[in-house]
């Protein structure tokens, strides 16, 4: 969940453990699959907020050790190598409050539920130091945000990919944050997504069970794998509407793996529409569904993965009441559906 990484499903790891951006040490044990990888490359897989050049400087300065000894960025890691990583504090300032409009679905004194637009990064990181959800939260809620994770992730309990729209939960104090994060960790949060996929799912409802792990050659991608180190992942789906060559589907992930929905739907033979990472393309134009339109018409129906976090249901940590929030179906996915109904109705 890129990222997912902008993870579509998982609680933000920093909600359960401190962010490595704030000097907290990180210990890593190299597994056999990573043997032969450069030290700076391997660490970058686990500390992606820092650039390779930053990591190389830290290795050369002795901030990253192998089996208790200094090393070089070019060192090829071996199975059972024990790495100790201590990174300096970030050189970037705390997020600047930005007056970015937010669609607040629910809020009280302890938490808020936001309908995140599809083009917004959740928290600042390399290459995205402004325009994020955290920048907007700093403006709207000021000091009323949990800060256990540090200022760069203030209030953020879980994440959505930049290009995934929909419901995201925000904590206003640290105790609420920890309790919400634990609900995610123990799978007590009900999550429901809606996607438009390329292809026609065989059954009207079913489950997809496939353990997942990082792609061996591309750290941005996840794959379904039978390897012993792959983590269990389970998703339920229900077809909402069928078209020729496409399907509108509702998905309920029961585990929270990075990119789980996108990877599971690909595994089922129906990748999410306009998912560049897993489907090979990042947009759909009007002429692709309407053959009467000229092919040079630059009329983009959707320019991001057609995935929307539709509903989130959880128990309020303070009132003990169940809270259920729904995010309206986004305009770009609605445009695609209207075109599919008109030009690709089911047989």
Q: Which are the catalytic amino acids?
A: 161
Beta strands in the chain (DSSP E): 26-29, 64-66, 69-70, 82-85, 103-107, 111-116, 165-171, 190-198, 205-209, 212-214, 222-224, 234-243, 246-253, 284-285, 300-302, 307-315, 322-326
Residue-wise DSSP of 294-346: -TT---EEESS--EEEEEEEEE-TTT--EEEEEPPPPHHHHHHHHHHHHHSB-
Reading the block at residue 96, the tokens are: 């600047």
Q: Where are the alpha helices (DSSP H) in the chain?
A: 39-46, 52-60, 133-141, 174-185, 260-267, 276-279, 331-343
Residues shown for the chain: 347
Reading the block at residue 285, the tokens are: 């134009």
Reading the block at residue 200, the tokens are: 């026609």
């Amino acid at each position: 969940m890129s990222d997912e990484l902008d993870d579509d499903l998982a609680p933000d790891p920093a909600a359960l453990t401190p962010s490595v951006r704030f000097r907290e040490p990180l210990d890593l044990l190299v597994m056999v699959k990573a043997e032969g990888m450069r030290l700076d490359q391997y660490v970058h897989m686990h500390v992606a907020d820092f650039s390779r050049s930053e990591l190389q400087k830290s290795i050369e300065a002795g901030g990253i050790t192998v089996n208790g000894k200094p090393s070089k960025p070019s060192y090829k890691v071996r199975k059972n190598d024990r790495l100790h990583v201590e990174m300096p504090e970030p050189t970037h300032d705390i997020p600047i409050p930005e007056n970015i409009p937010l669609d607040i679905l629910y809020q009280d004194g302890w938490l808020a539920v936001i309908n995140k637009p599809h083009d917004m990064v959740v928290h600042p990181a390399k290459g995205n130091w402004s325009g994020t959800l955290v920048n907007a939260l700093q403006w709207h809620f000021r000091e009323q945000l949990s800060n256990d994770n540090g200022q760069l992730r203030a209030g953020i309990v879980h994440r959505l990919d930049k290009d995934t729209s929909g419901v995201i939960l925000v904590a206003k104090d640290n105790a609420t944050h920890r309790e919400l994060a634990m609900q995610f960790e123990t799978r007590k949060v009900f999550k429901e997504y809606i996607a438009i996929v390329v292809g026609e799912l065989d059954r009207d409802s079913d489950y997809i069970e496939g353990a997942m792990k990082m792609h061996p050659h591309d750290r941005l991608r996840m794959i379904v794998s039978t390897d012993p180190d792959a983590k269990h992942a389970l998703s339920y789906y229900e077809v909402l509407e069928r078209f020729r060559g496409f399907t509108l589907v509702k998905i309920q992930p029961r585990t929270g793996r990075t990119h789980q929905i996108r990877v599971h739907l690909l595994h089922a033979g129906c990748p999410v529409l306009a998912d560049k990472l897993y489907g090979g393309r990042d947009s759909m134009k009007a002429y692709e569904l309407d053959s009467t339109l000229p092919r040079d018409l630059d009329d983009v129906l959707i320019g991001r993965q057609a995935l929307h976090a539709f509903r989130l249901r959880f128990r309020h940590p303070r009132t003990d009441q169940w809270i259920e929030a729904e995010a309206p179906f986004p305009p770009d996915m609605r445009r695609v559906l209207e075109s599919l109904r008109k030009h690709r109705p089911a047989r």
